[in-house]
Amino acid sequence: MLKTIMIDGKGYVEVAERIKAFRQLHPQWSIETAILSNADGVVLMQAVVKDESGRVIATGHAFEKQDSNYVNRTSYIENCETSAVGRALGMLGIGVDTAIASAEEVVNAQAQQSNGEPSQAGVQLETVLDRKDKIKLLSELAGQLSAEQKAVFKERYPNGTKGLRDTGLTKLEKELREAIAQGQQQSEKAA
């Protein structure tokens, strides 16, 4: 069973969970997305799931307005693509225990119904997704550090990302990027 997020008493599966399940079930299949139209801040996208021979197995469509809610102001195309993929995978039967809509779609719909302001569930989901993405990025950056640099950061941040708020995560990202750049400069000078 895929991890779900409860929104208004119903369980919804995030698109990321659907994609992971899809990749495990069908590693040779593909998901292709295309913008069908994009004009005046309104985008329509299609996602197509194909088997290894290129045969279309499922499709999903999504439509987003750039000014429809807080998140779409900067990411309406990305949100539209995510929704289209989530719907295509839903049509394939992945993550549809209670609904074809993904958690992201439900949050987006709620935000649009509340005059563009994210619902409480939307704020929570965005925070969870943003935080997971930031922590994943920080982990990837930390992997680029030398052993000496890792020791310095371990001393400076003994609890890692635990307890850090958004500003702390942003500060840590800046420090990691600076350390990586310094390490690269030192490597270039040594070479």
Cα–Cα distance, 15 to 51 (Å, whole number): 19
Cα–Cα distance, 82 to 186 (Å, whole number): 40
Q: Is 159 helix (H, G, I), strand (E, B) or coil?
A: coil
Tell me the pairing of strands 10-13 and 42-50. unpaired
Write down the number of H helices and E strands in the chain: 6, 5
Which residues share a beta bridge with 6? 11
Report pLDDT digits (tens) over 44-60.
999 999 999 999 999 99
pLDDT of residue 15: 85
What amino acid is encoded at 181 in this protein?
A
Report pLDDT digits (tens) over 140-159.
778 888 888 888 888 888 88
pLDDT of residue 117: 46
0.85 surpassed by pTM: no
Q: Tell me, which fold does domain 4-118 have in CATH?
A: Double Stranded RNA Binding Domain (3.30.160)
**CB contact at 8 A, 76 and 68:** yes
**Averaged pLDDT for residues 121-143:** 60
Cα–Cα distance, 103 to 109 (Å, whole number): 10
Q: Is 34 helix (H, G, I), strand (E, B) or coil?
A: strand
pLDDT of residue 158: 83
